[in-house]
Protein backbone atom coordinates (compact mmCIF):
# COMPACT_ATOMS: atom_id res chain seq x y z
CA UNK A 1 0.00 0.00 0.00
CA UNK A 2 2.84 2.39 0.92
CA UNK A 3 4.39 1.90 -2.52
CA UNK A 4 1.33 3.33 -4.29
CA UNK A 5 1.28 6.51 -2.19
CA UNK A 6 2.74 9.51 -4.05
CA UNK A 7 5.88 11.14 -2.64
CA UNK A 8 5.52 14.76 -1.54
CA UNK A 9 8.38 17.19 -0.85
CA UNK A 10 9.09 20.89 -0.17
CA UNK A 11 7.70 21.84 -3.55
CA UNK A 12 4.65 19.63 -3.80
CA UNK A 13 3.40 19.22 -0.22
CA UNK A 14 0.39 21.26 0.92
CA UNK A 15 -1.74 21.02 4.04
CA UNK A 16 -5.19 22.57 3.69
CA UNK A 17 -7.32 23.73 6.61
CA UNK A 18 -10.99 24.35 5.81
CA UNK A 19 -14.57 23.68 6.86
CA UNK A 20 -16.19 25.64 9.68
CA UNK A 21 -13.43 28.25 9.96
CA UNK A 22 -13.14 32.00 9.31
CA UNK A 23 -9.80 31.78 7.53
CA UNK A 24 -9.25 28.62 5.44
CA UNK A 25 -5.57 28.09 4.69
CA UNK A 26 -3.00 26.14 2.73
CA UNK A 27 0.44 25.57 4.22
CA UNK A 28 3.75 24.50 2.72
CA UNK A 29 6.39 22.55 4.65
CA UNK A 30 8.32 25.81 5.12
CA UNK A 31 5.20 27.46 6.55
CA UNK A 32 4.77 24.61 9.06
CA UNK A 33 8.47 24.63 10.01
CA UNK A 34 8.27 28.37 10.73
CA UNK A 35 5.58 27.81 13.39
CA UNK A 36 6.32 27.01 17.06
CA UNK A 37 7.44 23.38 17.39
CA UNK A 38 6.57 21.02 20.23
CA UNK A 39 8.50 17.82 21.01
CA UNK A 40 6.84 14.92 22.87
CA UNK A 41 8.36 11.59 23.91
CA UNK A 42 5.74 8.88 24.56
CA UNK A 43 5.19 5.18 24.00
CA UNK A 44 3.56 4.35 20.69
CA UNK A 45 0.93 1.65 20.80
CA UNK A 46 -1.62 0.24 18.37
CA UNK A 47 -4.54 -2.06 19.06
CA UNK A 48 -2.83 -5.17 17.81
CA UNK A 49 -0.61 -5.24 20.90
CA UNK A 50 2.65 -3.81 19.67
CA UNK A 51 4.30 -0.99 21.53
CA UNK A 52 7.39 1.12 20.82
CA UNK A 53 8.60 2.79 24.00
CA UNK A 54 9.78 6.41 24.21
CA UNK A 55 9.36 7.60 20.64
CA UNK A 56 10.00 11.34 20.05
CA UNK A 57 7.63 13.24 17.78
CA UNK A 58 7.94 16.92 16.93
CA UNK A 59 5.74 19.38 15.09
CA UNK A 60 3.08 22.06 15.29
CA UNK A 61 0.28 21.77 17.78
CA UNK A 62 -3.00 21.15 15.97
CA UNK A 63 -4.55 23.74 18.30
CA UNK A 64 -2.18 26.34 16.84
CA UNK A 65 -3.49 25.69 13.32
CA UNK A 66 -7.09 25.69 14.55
CA UNK A 67 -6.59 29.03 16.31
CA UNK A 68 -4.97 30.48 13.18
CA UNK A 69 -8.01 29.38 11.16
CA UNK A 70 -10.59 30.73 13.60
CA UNK A 71 -13.00 27.88 14.40
CA UNK A 72 -16.73 28.68 14.22
CA UNK A 73 -18.83 28.30 17.38
CA UNK A 74 -20.98 25.67 15.62
CA UNK A 75 -18.00 23.33 15.16
CA UNK A 76 -17.65 20.15 17.21
CA UNK A 77 -15.11 17.97 15.45
CA UNK A 78 -12.13 17.81 13.11
CA UNK A 79 -11.80 15.46 10.14
CA UNK A 80 -8.44 14.47 8.62
CA UNK A 81 -7.72 13.37 5.07
CA UNK A 82 -4.55 11.92 3.58
CA UNK A 83 -2.82 12.07 0.21
CA UNK A 84 -2.91 8.29 -0.05
CA UNK A 85 -6.49 9.01 -1.09
CA UNK A 86 -7.94 6.42 1.28
CA UNK A 87 -7.27 6.95 4.97
CA UNK A 88 -9.36 9.26 7.14
CA UNK A 89 -9.57 10.04 10.83
CA UNK A 90 -11.52 12.30 13.18
CA UNK A 91 -11.29 13.83 16.62
CA UNK A 92 -13.76 15.81 18.66
CA UNK A 93 -12.80 19.47 18.82
CA UNK A 94 -11.96 19.05 22.50
CA UNK A 95 -9.58 16.18 21.72
CA UNK A 96 -8.10 18.09 18.78
CA UNK A 97 -7.26 21.07 21.00
CA UNK A 98 -5.18 18.99 23.45
CA UNK A 99 -1.56 20.05 23.82
CA UNK A 100 -0.40 16.49 23.01
CA UNK A 101 -1.93 16.39 19.52
CA UNK A 102 0.54 17.44 16.82
CA UNK A 103 0.80 17.95 13.12
CA UNK A 104 4.13 16.15 13.15
CA UNK A 105 7.12 16.90 10.92
CA UNK A 106 9.69 14.81 12.79
CA UNK A 107 9.79 11.36 14.36
CA UNK A 108 12.75 9.87 16.21
CA UNK A 109 14.51 13.23 15.74
CA UNK A 110 14.52 12.94 11.95
CA UNK A 111 12.21 14.31 9.28
CA UNK A 112 9.41 11.79 8.87
CA UNK A 113 10.21 9.48 5.96
CA UNK A 114 7.69 8.38 3.36
CA UNK A 115 7.02 4.96 4.91
CA UNK A 116 6.03 6.53 8.21
CA UNK A 117 3.68 9.06 6.61
CA UNK A 118 6.07 11.85 5.72
CA UNK A 119 6.53 14.61 5.17
CA UNK A 120 3.63 15.32 7.56
CA UNK A 121 1.50 13.06 9.71
CA UNK A 122 -0.90 13.55 12.55
CA UNK A 123 0.34 12.49 15.99
CA UNK A 124 -2.31 11.88 18.65
CA UNK A 125 -0.13 10.96 21.63
CA UNK A 126 -2.79 9.72 24.09
CA UNK A 127 -4.60 7.47 21.60
CA UNK A 128 -3.92 4.26 19.74
CA UNK A 129 -1.66 4.82 16.79
CA UNK A 130 -4.37 4.31 14.17
CA UNK A 131 -5.50 7.85 15.08
CA UNK A 132 -2.13 9.18 13.88
CA UNK A 133 -2.97 9.55 10.19
CA UNK A 134 0.03 9.30 7.88
CA UNK A 135 0.51 11.49 4.74
CA UNK A 136 -1.76 14.17 6.21
CA UNK A 137 -3.12 16.54 3.56
CA UNK A 138 -6.36 18.00 4.89
CA UNK A 139 -7.86 19.25 8.14
CA UNK A 140 -11.58 19.98 7.91
CA UNK A 141 -13.51 21.44 10.83
CA UNK A 142 -16.97 19.84 10.99
CA UNK A 143 -20.07 19.86 13.18
CA UNK A 144 -19.81 16.23 14.25
CA UNK A 145 -17.30 13.39 14.30
CA UNK A 146 -17.15 11.36 11.09
CA UNK A 147 -15.83 7.87 11.78
CA UNK A 148 -12.46 7.18 10.17
CA UNK A 149 -11.10 4.36 8.03
CA UNK A 150 -10.59 1.74 10.76
CA UNK A 151 -13.53 2.95 12.76
CA UNK A 152 -15.88 2.09 9.91
CA UNK A 153 -14.26 -1.33 10.21
CA UNK A 154 -14.96 -1.79 13.92
CA UNK A 155 -12.37 0.16 15.92
CA UNK A 156 -13.53 2.56 18.65
CA UNK A 157 -13.87 6.21 17.66
CA UNK A 158 -12.68 7.14 21.14
CA UNK A 159 -9.25 5.53 20.99
CA UNK A 160 -7.74 6.42 24.38
CA UNK A 161 -4.90 4.03 25.13
CA UNK A 162 -5.91 1.63 27.89
CA UNK A 163 -9.55 2.72 27.93
CA UNK A 164 -10.99 1.31 24.74
CA UNK A 165 -10.93 -1.47 22.20
CA UNK A 166 -10.48 -4.07 24.95
CA UNK A 167 -7.43 -5.34 23.17
CA UNK A 168 -4.67 -4.43 25.60
CA UNK A 169 -4.69 -7.90 27.14
CA UNK A 170 -3.96 -9.66 23.88
CA UNK A 171 -0.63 -11.46 23.86
CA UNK A 172 2.02 -9.69 21.78
CA UNK A 173 2.76 -11.54 18.57
N1 LIG B 1 -2.74 7.28 5.86
C2 LIG B 1 -2.62 6.25 6.73
N3 LIG B 1 -2.36 6.53 8.01
C4 LIG B 1 -2.25 5.53 8.92
C5 LIG B 1 -2.45 4.18 8.54
C6 LIG B 1 -2.73 3.91 7.17
O7 LIG B 1 -2.90 2.76 6.74
N8 LIG B 1 -2.80 4.97 6.29
N9 LIG B 1 -2.38 3.17 9.49
C10 LIG B 1 -2.54 3.56 10.89
C11 LIG B 1 -2.14 2.52 11.81
S12 LIG B 1 -3.28 1.28 12.10
C13 LIG B 1 -0.94 2.56 12.46
S14 LIG B 1 -0.53 1.40 13.62
C15 LIG B 1 0.07 3.60 12.15
C16 LIG B 1 1.36 2.99 11.66
O17 LIG B 1 2.35 3.98 11.53
P18 LIG B 1 3.83 3.58 11.10
O19 LIG B 1 3.77 3.02 9.71
O20 LIG B 1 4.64 4.83 11.18
O21 LIG B 1 4.31 2.54 12.08
O22 LIG B 1 -0.37 4.53 11.18
C23 LIG B 1 -1.74 4.83 11.21
N24 LIG B 1 -1.97 5.85 10.22
MO1 LIG C 1 -2.33 0.00 13.70
The terminus-to-terminus CA distance of the chain in angstroms comes to 22
Residue 80 Cβ contacting ligand 1 at under 6 Å = no
Domains of the chain: 15-153 (3.90.420.10)
Question: Which range has the top average pLDDT, 98-102, 156-160, 165-169?
Answer: 98-102
- Atom of ligand 1 minimally distant from the CA of 87: 1
The whole-number pLDDT of residue 166 equals 53
Is the pLDDT at 147 greater than 70? The verdict is: yes
Ligand 2 centroid to 48 CA: how many Å?
7
Residue 16 CA to its chain's centroid (Å): 13
This prediction has a pTM of 0.93
Strands (E), 48-108: 51-61, 77-82, 88-92, 101-107
Amino acid sequence: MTSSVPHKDEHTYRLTVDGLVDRPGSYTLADLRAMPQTRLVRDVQCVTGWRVPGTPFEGVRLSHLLDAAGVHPSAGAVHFTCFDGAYTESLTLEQARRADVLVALRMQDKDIGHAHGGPVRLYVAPMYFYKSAKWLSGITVTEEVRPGYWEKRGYDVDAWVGRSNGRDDEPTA
